[in-house]
């Protein structure tokens, strides 16, 4: 499957493999990390950002594509919507059917609240399903939540909200037990002890996994529990605007059937945004590992309702997205491949960095190798570097790849590439939304009765996330939002519903000279070819 030029480069990789096999690759110093980030990380490219003109984050910079959505035209403008006759009435409205939304719905239901889940695709169509490498939690004797905190705090450039990160690491061990009890089939030793591995930026082996389809296994289990509890799920229905009440509290959402475009009104005592990430916005033209519906919907809805965003200018570009073949361009190559021993190697066969640096540093170093140093491998889509996968079986014994990362082996084998014998080409792919909606430790935004969970939250990970902390945060903060929203709903007396905040936002846009923008939220990406 590889081109002649690629095969010649592979020969150089093979020629240096034995000398690299047991070599201890040095970590970058703090100054070196800062230098490579500022010079090559996409978050530092000024042309990729603009300044918001309206809303709670007015004056702050965000990606150009996100600004267009945040300052876009509401999809309810000009529509006749009768708020006095709700089509749905519930205690807790959960917007999003991924890991966070499902965990939220389960706990809210168990707390005695009536729950409604609405999702624009199907329950389980989410980034959770696509997560591969594992889920962190400090539950081994040589580890502690304090160590986990320090790793994550440093990895996030000391920018995480302390109360959120504390909750993440303190609730981690109990959440692993909760998932295990629900039926998640984690990798275990014969005696039942959970197998754990390192991830980038971790000081202890705390990565729990289900081979290399950990997210799919967790999502399968959570989805089944939602269905077992008979929680109503409305599939293929998007929330296009939040509804507030006369007291300014979140009180429901306007829903749109994705096929017929019919509009419905859902009234709720509390609302939870669990809409996930933004990879399909393709910031700065990057490919993405995200699922089809990841278009920052929750950020747009919350922002128009008055919720403040935190760190909306920072994204995570996973260092190892598939760079070749083009059929899987941008698809995730789990960090677990590197934690098992594969090295990042340039076209000349040189290992140019420690394979377990944090993701932002790793991505920046790969971009540097392909641009400034000119040591990348040319592809039809651009450039890439080698991830030397045959090293895994050489270090761990024959069969390690097939046992520990079978999904990776299958993905590449479809295109005639045997990762046990040949390295694979990788390049950074848009992977995670570090920023999001600002919340307090109870999961609520600054809009009363509006809770947020999962990737739509900002501040849990600071300005960079360590591997495995996203699957943990969807469970920790999904469960937390469900419990808190259910408890809060018991004391809510319904008030008349209103969309006045949407009209006010439209006025702000006009006053700022912004008009004629595209409708938002985006809902789904467009890949239609444009012809002259």
Q: Look at residue 133 in the predicted model and tell me its pLDDT.
A: 86
CA distance 56 to 78: 24
Mean pLDDT of 364-382: 96
Peptide bond into 325 cis (omega under 30): yes
Bridge partners for 277 per DSSP: none
pLDDT band with cut points at 50, 70 and 90 for residue 432: very high
Query: Largest Cα–Cα distance in the chain?
Result: 73
Q: Express each pLDDT in 256-308 by its tens digit.
A: 999 999 999 999 999 999 999 999 999 999 999 999 999 999 999 999 999 99
Strand partners for 95: 118, 273
Q: How many Cα atoms sit within 13 Å of 207 on the Cβ side?
A: 31
Q: Is the pLDDT of residue 531 over 70?
A: no
Give the residue among 322, 329, 370, 324 at the shortest CA–CA distance from 346: 370
pLDDT band at 57 (very low <50, low <70, confident <90, very high): very high
pLDDT confidence of residue 105: 98
**The model scores a pTM over 0.85:** yes
Quick one: which of 177, 175, 176, 172 has its CA closest to 149? 172
Task: State the catalytic residues.
Answer: 318, 338
Q: What is the pLDDT of residues 395-404, one digit of tens each?
A: 999 999 999 9
Cβ-based neighbour number of residue 418 at 10 Å:
13
d(CA 179, CA 394): 33
Question: In percent, how much of the chain has pLDDT > 70?
Answer: 99
For 480-495, the pLDDT digits (tens) are: 999 999 999 999 999 9
Cα–Cα distance between 495 and 328 in angstroms, integer? 50
521 cis-preceded (ω within 30 degrees of 0):
yes
* Cα 302 from chain centre: 18
Q: What's residue 200's pLDDT?
A: 86
Q: What is the mean pLDDT of the chain?
A: 96
Mutual angle of helices 214-228 and 99-110, in 10-degree steps: 30
Token look-up 């990380």 returns 41
Is residue 1 pLDDT above 60, yes or no? yes
Pick the most confident of 53-62, 333-342, 516-525: 53-62
Tokens describing residue 384: 């890439």
- pLDDT tens by residue, 386-395: 999 999 999 9
| pLDDT for 458 | 98
Exposed (0-12), middle (13-18) or buried (19+): which is 142, by Cβ within 10 Å?
exposed
pLDDT tens readout for residues 227-253: 999 999 999 999 999 999 999 999 999
The whole-number pLDDT of residue 81 equals 97
- What pLDDT is stored for residue 530 in this prediction? 56
Q: How many CA atoms lie within 13 A of 155 on its CB side?
A: 28
Render pLDDT for 133-184 as a digit per residue (tens, 0 to 9). Answer: 899 999 999 999 999 999 999 999 999 999 999 999 999 999 999 999 999 9
Nearest to 450 by CA among 218, 280, 241: 241
Listed as own residue / partner, the contacts of 411-416 with beta carbons closer than 8 Å and 24 or more positions apart are 411/322, 411/328, 411/331, 415/1, 415/325, 415/327, 415/328, 416/1
For residue 79, pLDDT beyond 60? yes
For residue 65, the tally of other CB atoms under 10 A from its CB is 19
Angle between helices 297-304 and 500-511 (to 10 degrees): 90
pLDDT attached to residue 434: 96
């Amino acid at each position: 499957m590889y081109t002649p030029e690629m095969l010649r480069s592979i020969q150089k990789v093979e020629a240096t493999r034995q000398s690299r096999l047991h070599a201890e690759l040095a970590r970058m110093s703090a100054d070196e990390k800062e230098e490579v980030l500022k010079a090559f990380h996409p978050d530092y490219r000024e042309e990729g950002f603009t300044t918001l003109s309206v809303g709670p984050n007015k004056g702050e910079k965000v990606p150009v594509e996100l600004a267009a959505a945040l300052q876009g035209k509401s999809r309810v403008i000009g529509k006749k919507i009768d708020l006095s006759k709700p089509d749905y009435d519930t205690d807790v409205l959960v917007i999003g059917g991924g890991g966070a939304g499902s965990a939220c719905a389960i706990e809210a239901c168990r707390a005695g609240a009536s729950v409604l889940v609405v999702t624009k695709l199907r329950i389980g169509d989410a980034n959770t399903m696509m997560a591969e490498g594992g889920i962190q939690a400090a539950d081994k004797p040589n580890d502690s939540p304090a160590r986990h905190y320090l790793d994550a705090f440093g990895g996030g450039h000391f920018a995480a909200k302390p109360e959120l990160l504390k909750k993440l690491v303190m609730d981690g061990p109990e959440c692993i037990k909760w998932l295990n009890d629900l039926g998640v089939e984690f990798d275990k030793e014969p005696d039942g002890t959970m197998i754990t591995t390192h991830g980038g930026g971790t000081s202890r082996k705390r990565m729990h996994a289900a081979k290399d389809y950990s997210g799919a296994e967790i999502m399968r289990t959570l989805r089944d529990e939602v269905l077992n509890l008979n929680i109503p799920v409305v599939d293929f229905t998007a929330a296009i605007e939040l509804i507030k009440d006369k007291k300014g509290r979140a009180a429901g959402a306007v829903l749109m059937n994705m096929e017929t475009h019919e509009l419905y009104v859902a009234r709720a005592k509390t609302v939870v945004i669990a809409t996930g990430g933004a990879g399909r916005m393709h910031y700065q033209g990057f490919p993405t590992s995200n699922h089809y519906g990841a278009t920052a919907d929750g950020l747009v809805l919350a922002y128009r309702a008055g919720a403040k965003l935190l760190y909306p200018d920072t994204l995570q570009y996973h260092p190892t997205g598939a760079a070749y073949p083009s059929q899987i361009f941008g698809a995730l190559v789990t960090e677990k491949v590197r934690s098992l021993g594969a090295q990042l190697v340039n076209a000349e066969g040189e290992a140019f960095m420690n394979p377990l640096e944090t993701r932002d540093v790793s991505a920046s170093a790969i971009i540097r190798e392909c641009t400034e140093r000119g040591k990348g491998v040319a592809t039809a889509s651009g450039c890439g570097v080698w991830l030397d996968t045959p090293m895994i079986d050489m270090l761990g014994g024959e069969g390690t790849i097939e046992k520990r990362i079978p999904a990776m082996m299958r993905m590449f084998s479809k295109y005639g590439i045997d990762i046990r014998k040949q390295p694979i080409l990788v390049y950074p792919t848009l992977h995670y939304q570090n920023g999001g909606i600002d919340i307090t430790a109870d999961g609520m935004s600054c809009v009363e009765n509006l809770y947020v969970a999962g990737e739509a939250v900002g501040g849990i990970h600071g300005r960079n996330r360590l591997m495995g902390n996203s699957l943990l945060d969807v469970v920790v903060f999904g469960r937390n939002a469900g419990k808190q929203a259910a408890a809060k709903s018991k004391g809510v007396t319904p008030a008349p519903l209103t969309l006045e905040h949407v009209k006010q936002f439209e006025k702000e846009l006009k006053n700022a000279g912004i008009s004629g923008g595209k409708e938002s939220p985006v809902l789904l990406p467009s890949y239609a070819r444009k012809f002259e």
